[in-house]
Amino acid sequence: MWLLALAGIGVLVGSELFGALLADGALPSVLFVAVGFALLFGYLGYRTNSKRLLSRLDVAPLTQARAPQVHASVDRLARRMEIDRPEIHLGRLGQPNAFALGSDTLVVDQSLVRLLTPTELEGVLAHEFAHLEGYDSLLRTLATSLLRTVTSLLLILLVPLVIVVSLIGWGLSLIVGRPVRGPDSVGSGLRSGLQRLVKSLLVAPTLALQAYARRREYAADRRAVAILDDPLALARALQKIQRANEPDRGLLGWLLPSRDRETERSPTERALASHPPTDERVERVREAANAAGGEGSTGWHRVDID
């Protein structure tokens, strides 16, 4: 009988909670305040975390005297995209990579500069410029904060409901002589459905954010192709970066076509990835480049950094 007593208490508490939220329009006010705080703290976190991350990286500003070709590409891209010129930092990131940090900073690994030709590096920079132009980092941070807040509110409402339904089901199962747990218990289907809903709420924000990130990668690739003199430079750069990040395959491996291991990931791994498979990106870049009207120059000269 103690289960029934707990169920009764749960029903009363739940009723009071829902009644308080719904009374006098309290629920919309709570949601409005929660969303406002989520966006505010998300923005503050975006500003502070970007500076904190930059201070923790092994990077230093890349001067124009040290890499005039890189700065020429940056100036050209800034003019074409009509955005403020970002600061360029060169560092040791552990692998060929580049990324936009905050709203005014680009970080480039030194091995990437040595790996790519000037036009290929400009293709990578154009991709990162597209992220800056679209405020992708800011929007992702705000979306993360907002989704987490909304999810937390929904869980606050759902978890007590799951507990109440479970207690009632257990109590009724004892009364009618059914198993307390399992498919034969009272309300097992409803409990299972609510539990799946709670689990979905825990996973859904991450899946949504990663799907958004992958779409923005494709969008940044398209934007880069649209402004580059050599539209296929980005495709060549992606292939070189892919090969450089693969395990050492020996001389024979370098003579054979590169294999994108990202395409071999499970559906769950692909859903949780922030970037699309490189082969898919390269294919889309080539399609966009062909639609833009040709392959452009070969860009074989290397970037010189003292």
The pLDDT of residue 140:
92
> Whole-number mean pLDDT of the chain?
81
9: pLDDT strictly greater than 70: no
Q: How far apart are CA 31 and CA 22, in angstroms?
A: 12
| Among 85, 202, 200, 212, residue whose Cα is nearest residue 137 | 212
> Which SS3 state, helix, strand or coil, does residue 58 take?
coil
Beta-carbon contacts of 273 under 8 Å, excluding residues fewer than 6 positions away, are: 210, 214, 262, 265
Q: How far apart are CA 302 and CA 275, in angstroms?
A: 27
271 backbone φψ class: left, alpha, beta (φ>0; ψ -120 to 50): alpha
User: pLDDT confidence of 259, banded at 50, 70, 90?
Assistant: low
The pLDDT of residue 24:
54
Domain boundaries, the chain: 16-245+266-293
The residue that leads in pLDDT, 226 or 180, is 226
**What are 112-162's pLDDT values in tens digits?**
988 999 999 999 999 999 999 999 999 999 999 999 888 888 888 787 777
* CB of 233 closer than 8 Å to CB of 292: no
- Span of 31-45, 162-176, 286-300 with lowest mean pLDDT: 286-300
User: pLDDT confidence of 251, banded at 50, 70, 90?
Assistant: very low
Q: What is the pTM of this model?
A: 0.77
**What are 55-101's pLDDT values in tens digits?**
888 899 998 888 899 999 999 999 999 999 999 999 998 889 899 98
Beta-carbon contacts of 22 under 8 Å, excluding residues fewer than 6 positions away, are: none
237: pLDDT strictly greater than 50: yes
